[in-house]
Amino acid sequence: MSMQRLEALRKAMQKANLPAILVTSSENRFYLSGFSGSSGTLLITPELAILITGFVYQEQAASQAVGWQVVPATAQASATALLTEILATHGVSRLGFEENHTTVAQLEAWQEAFLEAELDLFCVPYKDIIEGLRQVKDEEELTLMNKAAMISDQAYLQVLNFIRAGVSERDVAIEIDFTMKKMGADGVAFETIVVSGKRSSMPHGKPTEKLLQPGDFVTMDFGAKYKGYCSDITRTVVIGKPSDEQRKVYQTVLQAHMRALNAAAPGIIGKELDAIARSTIEDAGYGRYFGHGLGHGVGLQVHEQPSAGQKSESELVAGNMITIEPGIYIPNWGGVRIEDSVLITAEGHRSLHHTTKELISL
């Protein structure tokens, strides 16, 4: 699989007039090479696929980065020295570096070494090339993402048995995290959000020692990381019997979610999808309480391209993975969000999550 991704990258490099590039961001490095270590530099040209990494990663890199030439840096030969030597040997004259993932210090260190070696080499920033490829998931990625989603669904079903008045938000979050890890997750995809009662009006609130009380909405937003891939799901439940207003707010969010979900298909623009959910919420009179975009891409990172926000010009294509997560957040009252991670398919879409979205009272 990594060779197919490499071929697609080489085509994109040619289009961007980049005969050689360096890749240092961990997600992009993993996506292309399969190497999951925490440091390493990829050098890619039409002929070369080289992974320079530390001596400590030598064995791991050799087994994970199939088809790549692994060059181990040592105390005697630094990664920069090795890179300089390779670039000189192959006469590379134009070298791309990741604009969004290269520190000033790293760039200066490279340039200093290239200058010292009298390389006739021009360093140019690039961005979004690999991120662009990552927007369309391949079969291998879909398998891993389905598993990540399945783990978070299981954690949700498990935590439903645990949630009751008197339990703290923090304990709910710990139960979710524990179950996901127990089910095989590498860890959490992001810090689990559990907010209840009036606190549920904070879309990204942190779980606290606050105890759940009758009448509270409880919003849980969480995801598993599985073999590098993230899931992202939000469910809101109510403790005890919901009030009429709670029912109305919940049904509005659910309707907005379902309308956007049903419209998700190749060809639709991110902002059009956002508008479908937003107009549903506006028509119910809650427009000013939906202050964030409808969704975002998800994959190796929990937030990646494409976007499905108010300003998103991204046209969705089959293979995109996006979240659909409308919400209503009323200060000093509470809030509701319902989120699924959704695959765009040739026929339309397929949600990765299978747990109910009807209002559950516990």
Residue 270 one-letter amino acid: G
Is the link from the previous residue into 306 a cis peptide, with omega within 30 of 0? yes
Binding site for Zn ion (CB under 5 A): 221, 232, 234, 323, 339
Minimum CB–partner distance for residue 320 and Zn ion (Å): 14
Question: How does DSSP classify residue 17?
Answer: T
CB 98 within 8 A of CB 23: yes
Please give the distance of CA 303 from its chain centroid, rounded to a whole number: 4
Nearer to Zn ion, 177 or 232 (CB): 232
Q: Which residue has the tokens 């294509």?
A: 317
DSSP 251-267: HHHHHHHHHHHHH--TT
**Cβ burial, residue 352 (10 Å; 0-12/13-18/19+):** buried
Phi, psi of 193 (to 5 degrees): -100, 125
Minimum CB–partner distance for residue 109 and Zn ion (Å): 36
Minimum CB–partner distance for residue 325 and Zn ion (Å): 5
Minimum CB–partner distance for residue 160 and Zn ion (Å): 18
Residue 348 CA to residue 329 CA, distance in Å, equals: 30
CB atoms under 10 Å from CB of 43, counted, come to: 23
Sign of CA dihedral 341, 217, 309, 225: negative
Minimum CB–partner distance for residue 156 and Zn ion (Å): 12
Minimum CB–partner distance for residue 23 and Zn ion (Å): 26
